[in-house]
Every structure is written in structure tokens, then in C-alpha cells.
Homo-oligomer: A and B are copies of this chain.
Amino acid sequence: MEQVIKVEGMTCGHCKSAVEGALSKLDGVKSANVDLENKNVTVDFDDSKVSLVDMETAIEDQGYDVEK
């Protein structure tokens, strides 16, 4: 399934890579694409393997705030 997660604080290509990389490492995440302009990341994932909370934690661990 696909989910758009709103994320605050991503400013540049490094931020994009950090968030996409952290999400992609999670088992069950098929793809993660950050849209810097719209301040979000679109994640395609298998919800039997990974939860929204897991993904939010991965983003927060990179130093960004998730809008819930």
C-alpha cells in the first residue's frame, strides 16, 4: 500500500537521501520518494511487514519531525 507522510525539516538533497535511505532499509518498504517542495515522503510498503509507526520512527531517527 502507499502512504504519504508529511515531514518537517528536510531542506536539501542530503536530507532527501537520509530519509529515503532510512525508510528503504526497513523490511517491507518497497520504495520511498521524498518531495522536498511539498515536504513529504511517499512510501510504498507491505503493511504485513512494516507499520506506519516503524516508518515514522525511522524518519524521526534521522532528525526530522513527522506531522501525525
Q: Which residue of B lies closest to A10 (CB)?
A: B12
Please report the C-alpha to C-alpha distance between residue A9 and residue B11 in the assembled complex, in whole angstroms.
Answer: 10
- Interface residue range, chain A: under 10
The number of times this chain is found in the oligomer is 2
Please report the C-alpha to C-alpha distance between residue A63 and residue B13 in the assembled complex, in whole angstroms.
Answer: 10
Is A49 in contact with chain B by the CB < 8 A criterion? no
Binary interface encoding of chain A residues 2-36 relative to chain B, with 1 for a CB under 8 A from any of its CBs, else 0: 00000001011111001000000000000000000
Between A and B, 10 residue pairs with Cβ closer than 8 Å are A9-B12, A11-B11, A11-B12, A12-B12, A12-B14, A12-B15, A13-B63, A14-B14, A14-B15, A14-B18
A→B interface (CB under 8 Å)? 9, 11-15, 18, 63
